Amino acid sequence: MASIFPFFQWCEQTWLFQTISSHESAFPAIETVHLFGLVLLLGTIVILSLRLLGVMMTRQPVAELARDLAGYNNWGLALMLISGALMFVATAVRNYSNTSFWVKMCLLGVALIFHFAYFKRVIRTQGSGLPNWQGRVAAWGALLLWFGIAMAGRSIGFLG
């Protein structure tokens, strides 16, 4: 079976890696943007999930609330993905053998599929009534996946 390690090595030979690694404050700045994106994304996910569970804002239709939060949600996700890719390039070889990195990547893949294939669909179809089982699955699934990603990401630096 072919290894993907050469790709990880190649990442650390790019001009992008050279640029990030040659500036002392570049990686911390990228990490700050990554955390800001995380706050935006998790904030909107928590609000929408609590609404889907019937805990708060029960008079506002879920789809309307999602429309109001869509910009924050989309910007948070975009900031996280872009800054995450930059952080990956800067630490690729080190992360290759980091279990937390692989857990985060697996959870991220599942979370993105869940987010676009299920969570957003459930939000579009929810009325303004009481929570149903699809809303509960969407809420708990989103919370578990995105907070799992955050926890795995946080442990990358400690278990690397």
Spatial contact of 123 and 138, defined as CB atoms under 8 Å apart = yes
Rounded CA separation 67/94 (Å):
40
Spatial contact of 132 and 62, defined as CB atoms under 8 Å apart = no
Q: What are 27-81's pLDDT values in tens digits? A: 999 999 999 999 999 999 999 999 999 999 888 899 999 999 999 999 999 999 9
Spatial contact of 149 and 112, defined as CB atoms under 8 Å apart = no
Q: What are 62-73's pLDDT values in tens digits? A: 999 999 999 999
Q: How large a percentage of the chain has pLDDT more than 70?
A: 96
Rounded CA separation 49/153 (Å):
22
Q: What are 81-105's pLDDT values in tens digits? A: 999 999 999 999 999 999 999 999 9
Question: How many residues does the structure list for the chain?
Answer: 160
Rounded CA separation 119/141 (Å):
8
Phi, psi angle pair for 95, to nearest 5°: -80, -15
Instruction: Give domain limits for the chain.
Output: 25-159
Residue 130: what pLDDT? 67
Q: How large a percentage of the chain has pLDDT more than 90?
A: 85
pLDDT at 128 over 70: no
Rounded CA separation 96/98 (Å):
6
- Rg, Å, the chain Cα set: 18
Spatial contact of 123 and 66, defined as CB atoms under 8 Å apart = yes
Mean pLDDT computed over 129-156: 92
